[in-house]
Amino acid sequence: MGLLSKKDAALLTDPLADNNPITIQVLGICSALAITAELEASIVMSISVMFVLGLGNVVISLMRNIIPSKIRIIVQLIVVATLVIIVDLVLKAFAYELSKTLSVFVGLIITNCIIMGRFEAFALGNGPWRAFLDGIGNSVGYGVILIIVGFFRELLGAGTLLGYPVLGNPIPGELSGLYAYGYENNGFMLLSPMALIVVGIIIWIQRSRNTSLIEEN
């Protein structure tokens, strides 16, 4: 690859599979459980996290030599909170419709451990360009899992994808599609515990395909 050295490219690709933030690093689990009831919310959250993590990693990386180690967690928290609030304010002023969709996610982004986790584990020890790549790579890895979970939860829980009915009409008396054959939505899929089970299944599949990920006791 001309643009990126091999080491830099690995920063982007590793988090997609073998070093995935959710399934391997166990970062960002809370939001993966909370907001994946719908595919659309998963996509919006993934894009927001990509923006904040990419930018935040660069800012923290630039400040890495002047941040006092005793209060570094608080400094990281302030940086991410400031970034998110500024983005929210600008959207409210110039793209109000969009901001209404996103403002629900603001609190979830600030408290998302994937952001603090990457600041702490990577941005504090690496230059801005590599930190940026790490931020993008990890947020894409995070987004992939969110979208997979969101896909199955919305499909099996509500019978829709991005709000469009794909399995037919479930209303009694107007049954069509799969529902006409006695299929029923599983309302349990809409609740958070099922997200945990879906994430668990993804981890299971991933580890059975790549046995080097299994820890030895």
Partner 1 sequence: MSKRTDSNSYTMIFAIIMVFVVGSLLAFMASSLKPNIDENKRIEKQQNILYALGVDENEGTSAKFVSTDLAGTAFSKYITKQIEVQGGNEIENSDAYLIDIKKQQTLAKQGKQRRLPLFVGKNKKGVTLYVAPIRGKGLWDAIWGYVAMDENMVIQGAYFDHKGETPGLGANIKQRYFMDDFIGEHLLNEAGEFKGIKVAKGNNDPKNLEKTDYEVDAIAGATITGDGVSAMIKKDLAMYMPYFKTLKK
Using only C-alpha atoms, the chain has a radius of gyration, in whole angstroms, of 20
Two tokens, residue 214: 């299994």
C-alpha 192/C-alpha 77 separation (Å) is: 26
Nearer to partner 1, 107 or 125 (CB): 107
Least distance from C-beta 78 to partner 1, angstroms? 6
- Residues 80-109 within binding reach of partner 1 (CB under 8 A): 82, 85-86, 89-90, 92-94, 96, 103-105, 107
Which positions from 5 to 24 touch partner 1 by CB under 8 A, shown as an x/- string? --------------------
C-alpha 143/C-alpha 57 separation (Å) is: 17
- Residue 55 engages partner 1 in binding (rule: CB under 8 A): no
Least distance from C-beta 167 to partner 1, angstroms? 15
Instruction: Give the total residue count for the chain.
Output: 217
Task: Give the bridge partners for 164, in sequence order.
Answer: 161
CB 104 within 8 Å of CB 39: no
C-alpha 191/C-alpha 36 separation (Å) is: 9
Tell me how far apart the terminal alpha carbons of the chain are, to the nearest angstrom: 39
Q: Which of 1, 7, 172, 209 binds partner 1 (CB under 8 A)?
A: 172
Nearer to partner 1, 5 or 103 (CB): 103
**Size of residue set near partner 1 by CB under 8 A:** 39
Q: Which of 3, 6, 7, 65 binds partner 1 (CB under 8 A)?
A: 65
Q: Which of 187, 204, 208, 210 binds partner 1 (CB under 8 A)?
A: 187
Window contacting partner 1 (CB under 8 A); options: 5-13, 111-119, 169-177, 204-212: 169-177
C-alpha 67/C-alpha 55 separation (Å) is: 17
- Residue 66 engages partner 1 in binding (rule: CB under 8 A): yes
CB 94 within 8 Å of CB 51: no
C-alpha 56/C-alpha 53 separation (Å) is: 5
Nearer to partner 1, 127 or 163 (CB): 163
C-alpha 135/C-alpha 61 separation (Å) is: 11
- Residue 184 engages partner 1 in binding (rule: CB under 8 A): no
Binding site for partner 1 (CB under 8 A): 34-38, 41, 44-45, 65-71, 74-75, 78, 82, 85-86, 89-90, 92-94, 96, 103-105, 107, 154, 163, 171-173, 187, 190-191
